[in-house]
Structure 1
Amino acid sequence: MPSPFEVSFAEIEQNIELYVDEVFSTLQSDFMTMPKGEGFLEYPIFEDGYEALKKNTKGFSILDTESILRLSFEKPIVLIVLRAMLGFTPPEWADAATAEIKLEVPQNAARAIDRRVRLRPGVPLKTSGVTAERVRALVIAACRLLTTGPELVDGKLIHRLSKADTISGLASIAPLADLGVPYSMLLYERFLGRPFAGHRDSVSELVGDVVELAIEELLTKHHISFRKTKRAERIAGFEQAPDFIIPSEYNPRIVIEAKLTNDDGTARDKVTRVQHLRTMSLKDRSLKEGPRYEVIACIAGRGFKQRRQDMKKLLEATQGKIFTLQTIPEMVQYSSLKNYVTR
């Protein structure tokens, strides 16, 4: 069966259910893999920091703040290990340090320190300056929290330190470091925290960029003039700027919306945006004049496979010009982009 972009919209209207199935068949679920991205820590590097901290603390039997501070400046990967032991994000650790030490540690500063360590885990940190003071506050707060463990809370609440390794403070860390964690407890805490959640959040933009990168490479390959917009950028004539404008924002003839999502709610939001672009393309235009510009959607991810009605709306808004990662290479041949190929 032909793809919807290969036939007239009249044909799509007559057999829209079949064309919904055709688009679905080219949408691939790729949630099983993620890009590592810049700053990804391989396990041996993390383990090196863990072993250094374990040795420094005599198997986590004593947390000497000054000793751990010196180690953190010499071997910054230790900071990542401490954060993992706490189970905090960088901003959460910053808030905890600000509350514990009474020294303001901005969330962005904590993010910057965390990123710097992940990018250069083996390069020592400076021991003086504002950043050094913030690192000191983070380490002191971590040592206090890990030593004392969670405070008592209402039975309807759960404390963030009520984890197998921190529920009794320092007394619960050493045994686990020696004997390990029961597999059932590991699974339970993974259930509460979602595996790879922190990394998935940190590379979310890279995941989304897969579709945009494929479009950009295609347009560049064919020497087609285009304007790629930035996130939340304001473009005259558009209430919300599309991801790509061809040939330029001053003379839009084709607009492309790109999205990879495994969430049906996000997919629905993108469908609504594409519908709005279609409406704007017809504003103040007669039937004879036709739309001001062609609207193309490039999509990926299982989020777009959840609602058939949304896919019908997308087919209508683009007049069948829907491309997936699998069919993006055909986009020039089967759209008005072919009119802008210069080589």
Structure 2
Amino acid sequence: MFYSTSMQRAQSSFDILGAVRAMVRLSLTALRESWGLIAALLLLVAIFSFASPWFFNTLVLERVITNASFTLIMAVGMTLVIATGGIDVSVGAVLALTSMTAAMFMIMGVNVVLAAAIGLGLGAVIGAVNGALISYLKLQPFIVTLAALSLARGLTLILSDGTPAMGLPESFTRAFKDEMVVILALAVLVGTMWMMHRTRLGIHIRGIGGNPTTCYICGVPVNGLRIGVYTVQGLLAALAGYTLTASFDAAEPTAGLSTEWLEALAAPIIGGNTMAGGRARLFGTLMGCLILATMRSGLNISGVSVPWQQVAIGAIIVGAVGLDALTQRRREA
């Protein structure tokens, strides 16, 4: 009995050490693959620090990290969607609808945890419906999620009558504000990285984007996994919406209407995730979020107007997509 217990403890310790070593190897590989993105981020910091004496300070650094964390929560889900060869343009509208729904329930007196769970469940349901339509009806992901965007945005305006939902419980705003955004984002990132690189599920998700026919022949539940990925995306959009609502202390019907969804899509592309699918560079997605947040803060401090900021983000997206296309052509040549 003593021998058996000792062996179990030894095996458990071995598994933990193996997990730590695997994560260290994964981190070193990610750093090696993303050295160009790290250099670009450092270059941006140097440029904006030179352009404005107010850029390089603790407050700006905290704001950059918080904004990047907000984007990262959605961008992780988008990375999984892109890995399957799909796209989701509805994340901003889902963010607004789920946040407004949860906020209205809270204002009506519903328990905070239950109201938040309802919003998260609604996001998951929308994602699952998107995934089911794409998987079983063989509809294009862009068309399906564009329709979901219109429906979710319209429902948000109907529910709110175009006005913000204010007077949220302090316990809710405290749970999703400031440093909690960073903690949630890191938890989502680390958990997803582990799943994608250390489990069979992650291999299957990447395989769907690489060659879905072969995956289907090999017995991989292609449709089920695709639905699951879109479900996670909807869930994470709702979670990101809660952090945005907590920062405003109100649920805005226009939340996610600006560049939030665009940055969630841009960050994985900047991070080296190909639109063709088959790849999930989550550390690259993190770097993409940091680059976008740094650029936005730097442009704000430098006095650049919001329209020109959107032009800059659009130019970065075009450049990243163009670079991805050139890389694909070289691989196929």
The structure with the largest alpha-carbon Rg is 1
TM-score normalised to structure 2 length = 0.26
TM-score normalised to structure 1 length = 0.25
Larger helix fraction of residues: 2
